Amino acid sequence: MSRIINLTPHEVNIFVKGQRALVLPASNDPVRLSEKIEQVGEINGIPLYRVQYVLDRPLPERQPDTFYVVSRLVKDHAPDRDDFIVPFQLERALNGAVIGSKSFAL
């Protein structure tokens, strides 16, 4: 069985057939991206910025049979990491609030 480690600051709940099948506690040391913002000019008097996203810490090393739950921004920042997964197919409560997801995506 594969190990799944949550690297987000949020609890991750996975539902299978409407039942909570997996709960991953929020990470105490999540991987995040920070914004690096630089004004590069103006367009008709409106400021124009270049925004870059940079990792706030090194990524974990790959481990055998281990997947890491990360945000979509982190996953997009490291597209070669096929061990990074994101929650997919939202599960909602009757009032529409997101309570988890039904699967993971690469």
Question: Would the CA dihedral through 9, 63, 91, 79 be positive or negative?
Answer: positive
Phi-psi region of 40 (alpha: psi -120 to 50; beta: other; left: phi over 0): alpha
Q: What does the pLDDT read at residue 93?
A: 93
Question: Regarding beta strands 19-24 and 33-43, do their DSSP bridges make them parallel or antiparallel, or are they unpaired?
Answer: unpaired
Q: How far apart are CA 55 and CA 32, in angstroms?
A: 6
% of the chain residues with pLDDT over 70: 100
**pLDDT single digits (tens) 62-100:** 999 999 999 999 999 999 999 999 999 999 999 999 999
pTM for this prediction: 0.87
Q: Are 78 and 21 in contact (CB under 8 A)?
A: no
Q: How far apart are CA 66 and CA 77, in angstroms?
A: 19
Q: What does the pLDDT read at residue 58?
A: 94
